[in-house]
Amino acid sequence: MNARRRPLLGLALLVALVGCSSGSGTVDTAPTTPAGTSAATRTTSPATTSAPVESGPAQTPQEPFPEVMAGARYRFGPFGEQQTMIDAKGPDGWIGIDPSWGMDGPEPVRAEAPDGIGIVFFTPNGLYSDPCHWDVSGTGDAGAPGDVSVGSSVDDMVAALRDNTFYTSTVPKLVTIDGYAGKELEIQLPDRSYAKCDKDDPNDSGGHEFVFSGPGLYAQGPGNRWHLYILDVDGARLVSVILSYAKTSKSHLDTARNVIETMDINPT
């Protein structure tokens, strides 16, 4: 497991499953509009306890979660109160972290600066106004709701992110993945040391930067870029993020985008 990313708070290690089918997600982008982002009407299939490989007979789940992925589809989750599951491709040679969390790019860099990449799925419970000095309660718990009040919609979360001056953000665009509508945007975190940031682990020599409260995801290195896909899944927010840097290769970015754009989202 990447030493600079801790697992989702309160979630146990789950069994990974090879996906049921090839990805069917689609992505449509358009200029931002004032309209809301209600989820599209769709029919979802129930989560399964076993799954076939993409071609061939069913096989038993792999346990533990495979560290080196094999280009197949894997199951991630559950996320949020709806226990949403995600079936997504694990690119050949990428590193599986935890099926309740996400994946890193190939060894040896993985998600580290200056040119690594990673993908994480989560459901946040809020935002921090200062991602470096986030511990406003003095407890060292990054899972507690942040100090920024955020409404329940996708647009509420996007507006709160855009209002924060600690990092820069791009203009959000409409996006639809696997029939679920939302917004995508990118935030650029400062290119500086985290040594003086608040600590969530007293054993660490330095602190961490947390943008979202709840999931336990912190910046993986100075100058980390987070490309966010914030979707409305039957009234609940689901966030997928591509973690990268200015020096991350285009081929790795293209691979990561394909993982997000072709994932299957299954609320249970």
pLDDT per residue, tens digit, the chain (268 aa), is 233 343 332 222 233 333 333 333 333 433 333 333 322 222 223 232 223 234 322 333 444 567 899 999 999 999 998 899 999 999 999 999 888 899 999 999 999 999 999 999 999 999 999 999 999 889 999 989 999 989 999 999 999 999 999 999 999 999 999 999 999 999 999 999 999 999 999 888 889 999 999 998 999 999 999 999 999 999 999 999 999 999 999 999 999 999 999 999 999 8
Pick from 259, 228, 266: nearest CA to 104: 259
Per the DSSP assignment, residues forming a β-bridge with 160 are none
Please check whether the domain covering 51-266 is classified as CATH 3.40.1000.10: yes
- In the chain, the N- to C-terminal Cα span, in Å, equals 28
User: For residue 56, what are its two tokens?
Assistant: 């061939």
Distance separating alpha carbons of residues 232 and 246, to the nearest angstrom: 29
Distance separating alpha carbons of residues 266 and 77, to the nearest angstrom: 10
User: For residue 15, what are its two tokens?
Assistant: 């069994």
Distance separating alpha carbons of residues 29 and 176, to the nearest angstrom: 8
Sheet holding 73-79, edge to edge: 73-79, 84-89, 264-266
3-state secondary structure of 121: strand
Per the DSSP assignment, residues forming a β-bridge with 233 are 236
